[in-house]
Structure formats: C-alpha cells, structure tokens
Amino acid sequence: MKKLVILTGAGMSAESGISTFRDAGGLWDQYPVEQVATPEGYAANPQLVTDFYNERRKQLLEVKPNRGHELIAEMEKHFQVTIITQNVDNLHERAGSTHVIHLHGELTKVTSSFQPNNPLYIQELKPEAYEVKMGDTAADGSQLRPFIVWFGESVPMIETAIDYCEQADIFLIIGTSLNVYPAAGLLNYVPYGAPIYLIDPNHVPIASGRQVHVIQKGASAGMEELMELLTE
C-alpha cells in the first residue's frame, strides 16, 4: 500500500463549525494570541486561559466531523494513511482515522504546568468532565494546564512528523495557510517525485518551488474530487 501523508490545518475543521484562528473574524480577533496561547499569557492570567480552553472544549462537544474528515478516514481502505494535524480538535479520530499526529497538542487532554510533555502527567478528559477549574492538579501537584503547544514552546512531535513526510508516496495539504512554522517546513521533507496536492478554497502561496496540484475547494468538496483522482 502506498503511503499517503496528509497535513491538515484549521480549514479542515471550519466546515464542522470550529472557529478558525487566522481568518478574518477568527479567534485571534477576539482574543489576543499573547493572552491565551503563550506561556507568558498563562503565567499572567491562568484563570482566563483555563476558561478559554474550557469554552473551546465545550464547542468541540457541539460539532461533528465533516464529510472531508470522513473521506480521509475512508482513504485507509486504499492507502497507508498518516495525518499530521495542526488542529487541536479530535474530529479526525471521531471520523475513524487511526493514525493521527497532533503537532500542536490536543484539546481533550490536560497536563502538568511544570512538565507539560511528560507522558506521566498527560490525561484525557471525559466529554462530560471537560471543564478544568483552578485548583485541579496533575499528579506532580501543579495546576492542570491545557495539553496545547503554545507560541514560543517547542513542538515535540515535529521530528516524528518529518520522519513520515520523508517516507511519503503522496503528500496532501488541506486547509492550512502554511504560515505556521515548523509545520510549514514539512513540505521540504517530501521526496522529490512524490505528487503533492493542496485542497483549499483560498489562494495559498507556496514558496518551496515544488509542483503542487491545487484543488481550490473546501475540505469536503476537495476530498470528493481527490478521492476520484487517487482511487479511480
């Protein structure tokens, strides 16, 4: 089976009704990134940050995977699929995808404020207990914080993601502006000769000089078209 590696960003989940961060009217317009997505913001106002991610988790309970997520899961019948996502939602998993690498963490998990990447302290929240309160602690006694990679923090899964990109037979990009490094640099690790597809309703500039087959549609309509191309 050929190896299909898929890099997904906020546009992947937009059709499910999850607010994108960067588009006009997105979350960054409502909440300055410095307040809710940096270690400094958390140190300055842990209550605000905790409330912000409680709201994001609540929203996640109210949305469902879209047709694009479902079609990606169906691709596992035809390819060895690895999803590398910049999204912190669990919609790929809920649609049935079995191999998902989360570059920026996972909304449904919390961890230690002292050692956020220590597997001993990472825990999954049950859907009915999604709300974290000040005073809820990890096993090391520190306040539970979101298991999210904030701006200024290292991306622990990037090396794993690079390994999969280097082995890709086909590479697909869906719904990411390719503005966020190090994820944007993953394209450079895809072997020459491997076809690259991009699904996005917006024009996405690509600086790598690689030939990219562009499908200028949303995630669901774009995946329908790509399925026909790749499985005919």
Rounded to the nearest angstrom, the gap between the alpha carbon of residue 8 and the centroid of all alpha carbons in its chain is 6
Q: Tally the C-alpha atoms within 13 A of residue 90's C-alpha that lie toward its C-beta.
A: 18
Catalytic residue, chosen from 69, 102, 104, 203, is 104
Q: Under a CB-based contact definition with an 8 Å cutoff, are residues 81 and 172 in contact?
A: no
Residue type, 112: S
SS (H, E, C) 95-162: HCCCCEEECCEEEEEEEECCCCCCHHHCEECCHHHCCCCCCCECCCCCEEEEEECCCCCCCCCHHHHH
In Å, what is the CA distance from 210 to each residue of 166, 171, 207, 213?
A: 15, 12, 8, 10
Whether 78 is catalytic: no
Helix runs in the chain, H state only: 10-14, 27-30, 33-36, 39-44, 46-62, 67-74, 91-95, 158-166, 219-231
Which residues are identified as catalytic? 104
